[in-house]
Structure 1
Amino acid sequence: MATDEEIKNEFKRSGFILVEEDEILKRCVTLCINYSLKPSDLVSSWELYHLNRQLLDQTVKKDDMDGFVLHLQNEQKESIMRVEEAGLHLYSNRDVDMLLDGVQEDTEEIVTTPTNKSQRLHPDPFDSISRSRDYGYSTGKSVGHVTPFGSRIEKFVVKFNVGNVAAHAENGNNNDVENSEDDIIKRVQTSQRCSLKVNGSGPEPGCRFMYDRTEDRFSALEYRIVRHADAFAASGLYEEQVDPAVASQRSIFAVGMICCDGEGHLNDKSILLQSSAERTSGQRVPVDLKRLDQFSIFPGQVVGIEGQNPSGHYLTASKLLDSVPLTLTVDVDLPPAKRQILDQEVLVPAEESCQKSEVSFIIASGPFTTSDNLLFEPLNELLAYAKRKPPQLLVLLGPFVDSEHPEIKKGAVDATFNEIFQVEVLRKLQDYVEFMGSEVRVVLVPSIRDANHDFIFPQPPFDIHIPDLEHQMTSLSNPGTFEANQVKVSCCTVDVLKQLSGEEMSKNPSGVPTDRMSRLASHLLRQRSFYPLYPPPESLPYDSSLAPKALQISSIPDILLLPSDMRYFVKILSLGEEEDAAKCVCVNPGRLAKGEGAGTFVELTYKGGPESMHASIISI
Structure 2
Amino acid sequence: MEDQIRAEFRKNNFVLVEEEEILQKCLTFCINYNLSPSDLVSSWDLYSINRQLELTVSDAHMDAFGQQLQSEQKQAIVEKEQGPHSYTDVTMEIDDEHEDSKEVVPTSPVAQNVVNLESFDVTPITNGKMHSLGKPLELVTPFGQRKDKFVVHSTLNNLPTVHEIKNEHGEENSDDDVIKRVQPIKRCSLEIHGSQPAPGCRYMYDRIEDKFNHLEDRIMKYSEALVASQLYDELVDPSVASQKTIFTVGMICCEEEGRLKEKPIMLQSSVEHSGGQRVRLEMQKLEQFSIFPGQVVGVEGHNPSGHCLIATKIVDYVPLSVPDDDTFRQTNRQAMDQDNQPADSSDISSDLSLIVASGPFTTTDNLFFEPLSDLLAYAQRKQPQLLVLLGPFIDSEHPEIKKGALSKTYDELFHLEVLKRLQDYVEYMGSAARVILVPSVRDAHHDHAFPQPAFDINLADINDQITCITNPGIISANKVKVGCCSVDVLKQLSTDVVSRGIKNRMNTLTNHLLSQRSFYPLYPPAEDTPVDFSLAPEAFQMSVIPDVLIVPSDLTQFVKVLSLEGSSEAKCICVNPGRLARGEGGGHFVELNFHGSPDSSSASVIRI
TM range, smaller chain:
0.7 to 0.9
Using the TM superposition, give the Cα deviation of residue 188 of structure 1 relative to its aligned residue in structure 2, in angstroms: 5.6
Paired residue for 1:59, among 39, 56, 61?
56
Structure 1 equivalent of residue 117 of structure 2: none
Structure 2 equivalent of residue 70 of structure 1: 67
Matched residue type, 2:196: G
Using the TM superposition, give the Cα deviation of residue 167 of structure 1 relative to its aligned residue in structure 2, in angstroms: 5.1
Structure 1 equivalent of residue 600 of structure 2: 612
Q: Determine if the alignment matches structure 1 residue 434 to structure 2 residue 427.
A: yes
Please give the per-residue CA displacement for 1:381-403, whole angstroms capped at 9, x wherever unaligned.
01111111110111111110111
Please give the per-residue CA displacement for 1:449-477, whole angstroms capped at 9, x wherever unaligned.
11110000000000022122111110110
Gaps of 5+ in 2: 87-124
Structure 1 equivalent of residue 324 of structure 2: 329
Structure 2 equivalent of residue 581 of structure 1: 569
Paired residue for 2:29, among 8, 11, 31?
31
Structure 1 equivalent of residue 507 of structure 2: 518
Contact kept in structure 2, 1:491 and 1:562, CA below 8 Å: yes
When residues 170 and 159 of structure 1 are mapped into structure 2, their CA distance, relative to the original with a 3 A threshold, is farther
Q: Determine if the alignment matches structure 1 residue 299 to structure 2 residue 293.
A: yes
Using the TM superposition, give the Cα deviation of residue 263 of structure 1 relative to its aligned residue in structure 2, in angstroms: 1.8
Contact kept in structure 2, 1:197 and 1:348, CA below 8 Å: no
Please give the per-residue CA displacement for 1:35-79, whole angstroms capped at 9, x wherever unaligned.
221222111111222223343x33211121111111001111111
Q: Determine if the alignment matches structure 1 residue 535 to structure 2 residue 537.
A: no
Structure 2 equivalent of residue 286 of structure 1: 280
Contact kept in structure 2, 1:256 and 1:273, CA below 8 Å: yes
Three-state SS of the structure 2 residue aligned to 1:150 is helix
Paired residue for 1:256, among 247, 250, 268?
250
Three-state SS of the structure 2 residue aligned to 1:613 is strand
Three-state SS of the structure 2 residue aligned to 1:610 is strand
Using the TM superposition, give the Cα deviation of residue 516 of structure 1 relative to its aligned residue in structure 2, in angstroms: 1.1
Paired residue for 1:391, among 384, 390, 411?
384
Q: Give runs of aligned pairs for residues 241-390 of structure 1, distance below 5 A.
A: 241-326=235-320, 327-330=322-325, 339=330, 341-342=332-333, 344-349=334-339, 351-352=341-342, 353=345, 354-390=347-383
Using the TM superposition, give the Cα deviation of residue 4 of structure 1 relative to its aligned residue in structure 2, in angstroms: 2.5
Query: How big is the alpha-carbon RMSD for the aligned residues of Structure 1 and Structure 2?
Result: 2.6
Using the TM superposition, give the Cα deviation of residue 144 of structure 1 relative to its aligned residue in structure 2, in angstroms: 4.0
Matched residue type, 2:510: A
Contact kept in structure 2, 1:258 and 1:274, CA below 8 Å: yes
Q: Determine if the alignment matches structure 1 residue 207 to structure 2 residue 207.
A: no
Q: Which of the two has higher C-alpha Rg?
A: 1
Three-state SS of the structure 2 residue aligned to 1:545 is coil
When residues 172 and 495 of structure 1 are mapped into structure 2, their CA distance, relative to the original with a 3 A threshold, is farther
Identical aligned pairs, as a percentage?
Answer: 56
Matched residue type, 1:341: N
Matched residue type, 1:521: T
Distance 1:159 1:371 in 2: 23
Distance 1:388 1:454 in 2: 34
Structure 2 equivalent of residue 228 of structure 1: 222
Distance 1:563 1:500 in 2: 13
Structure 1 equivalent of residue 582 of structure 2: 594
Distance 1:162 1:38 in 2: 40
Q: TM-score, normalised by structure 1?
A: 0.86
Paired residue for 1:562, among 544, 548, 551?
551
Using the TM superposition, give the Cα deviation of residue 193 of structure 1 relative to its aligned residue in structure 2, in angstroms: 1.1
Please give the per-residue CA displacement for 1:510-551, whole angstroms capped at 9, x wherever unaligned.
xxxx22111101001111100001001121110000001100
When residues 564 and 440 of structure 1 are mapped into structure 2, their CA distance, relative to the original with a 3 A threshold, is same
Structure 1 equivalent of residue 401 of structure 2: 408
Contact kept in structure 2, 1:378 and 1:592, CA below 8 Å: yes
When residues 278 and 360 of structure 1 are mapped into structure 2, their CA distance, relative to the original with a 3 A threshold, is same
Using the TM superposition, give the Cα deviation of residue 439 of structure 1 relative to its aligned residue in structure 2, in angstroms: 1.3
Using the TM superposition, give the Cα deviation of residue 345 of structure 1 relative to its aligned residue in structure 2, in angstroms: 2.0
Distance 2:399 2:571 in 1: 40
Distance 2:598 2:69 in 1: 38
Matched residue type, 1:617: V
Distance 1:293 1:203 in 2: 41
Q: TM-score, normalised by structure 2?
A: 0.88
Which piece of structure 1 moves more, 129-138 or 368-377? Answer: 129-138
